[in-house]
Copies of this chain bind each other. A is one copy, B any other.
Amino acid sequence: MQTIEQLQKLLETAIQNLKFPDQPKQLYDPITYIINLGGKRIRPLLVLMATELFGKNANDSIHAAMAVEVFHNFTLVHDDIMDNAPLRRGQATVHEKWSTNTAILSGDVMMVEANKNLAKVNPIFLKDVLDTFNATAQGVCEGQQLDMEFEERSDVSINEYINMIRLKTAVLLGGALKLGAIIAGASEKDADLIHQFGENIGIAFQLHDDILDVYADPEKFGKQVGGDIIANKKTFLLLKAFELADEASKKQLQTWTDYKTFDSQEKVRAIRGIYDELDIQNIAKESMNSYLNKALKVFDQINVSQDAKSNLLALTTQLMAREY
């Protein structure tokens, strides 16, 4: 069984070896660009780790891992158009650097490239791999749609929010793990369990992000604390605050989120003040922990040795360990 570091090296080599046609340049250059912006490569790593968890070599699922990474980058390119985002990982987004049309079409061909990688998996597993990948891709699209709709709505419930982040971010973690499991020849039951594990840690990660945005140590966070508050992002924290606030606090929240111009620091301070009064941080942590515990409970049921499980547990801990 390879270490996480070994798997990461394997991944980086495979990513660098991804070959796209030279022409038309305008179509393929953005693919190399977005993929080389980096990122933690968590999703393809999960594919490989699941394969090793079930006793097979990560090389068996390297093509599926590439499919997942290229697909993920495709969603970034199209989401950035829809969200009108100028920057991605500190660099210009594809539609900013080239054009919206280029970003649409390069994104489309990335989806095809993802499918080409997928078609390279062992034909014995191909049908199952495709079904899992397609269900995952569909979920991700639905999640993005809900995310956009929620921006326009003022009555989003916590349940709706959890379902949206499940689709938009968690199903891809679950799907990545399930792909790796399928390719290792895991039983259907184990493949489903690891999928559930992935979905639940995915929701926990997103709640963790929501909390960090407000309560991270500014010195360690790496980006602006309170960014979600400034942008009126309907996170778990904001939705919960609206749910629990009395009339006076609700009015204050509404006033701050309605302001077109405001002092950012003042807004963050005011809204965090309301969160603190309502104990939102702890409520969010409780919810996060409930998803984390659910994840660990299903993970425990997977029929492999504790030893084999240690890598995935270590990664989970590592990803949840970013400090407040």
A26-B149, A146-B24 known; A111 vs B109 contact (CB < 8 Å): no
A118 to B118, alpha carbons, bound, how many Å?
Answer: 13
List 11 contacting pairs A-B, 8 Å CB cutoff, sorted by A: A24-B142, A24-B149, A82-B105, A108-B108, A108-B141, A109-B141, A111-B111, A113-B138, A123-B126, A126-B127, A130-B130
A27 interfacial contact with B, CB 8 Å: yes
CB of A130 within 8 A of CB of B101, answer: no
CB of A27 within 8 A of CB of B145, answer: yes
A144 interfacial contact with B, CB 8 Å: yes
CB of B109 within 8 A of CB of A138, answer: yes
Interface of A toward B, CB cutoff 8 Å: 21, 23-24, 26-27, 78, 81-82, 101, 104-105, 107-109, 111-113, 115-116, 118-119, 123, 126-127, 130-131, 134, 137-138, 141-142, 144-146, 148-149
Residues of B within 8 A of A109 (CB): 138, 141-142
Q: How far is the CB of A271 from chain B (nearest CB, A)?
A: 28
CB of A24 within 8 A of CB of B78, answer: no
Residues of B within 8 A of A107 (CB): 108
CB of B137 within 8 A of CB of A27, answer: no
A142 to B105, alpha carbons, bound, how many Å?
Answer: 9
Q: How far is the CB of A76 from chain B (nearest CB, A)?
A: 12
Q: How far is the CB of A266 from chain B (nearest CB, A)?
A: 32
In the complex, besides A24-B149, A107-B108, 12 extra interface pairs with C-beta distance below 8 angstroms are A24-B146, A26-B145, A81-B101, A82-B101, A105-B141, A108-B141, A109-B138, A109-B141, A112-B138, A113-B138, A115-B115, A126-B130
A164 to B79, alpha carbons, bound, how many Å?
Answer: 29
Closest-by-CB residue of B relative to A129 is B119
CB of B131 within 8 A of CB of A24, answer: no
Contact of A119 among B108, B134, B149 (CB under 8 A): B134
Closest-by-CB residue of B relative to A133 is B115
A104-B104, A127-B123, A127-B126 known; A134 vs B148 contact (CB < 8 Å): no
Q: How far is the CB of A315 from chain B (nearest CB, A)?
A: 28
CB of B141 within 8 A of CB of A27, answer: yes
Residues of B within 8 A of A78 (CB): 104-105, 108
A109 to B107, alpha carbons, bound, how many Å?
Answer: 13
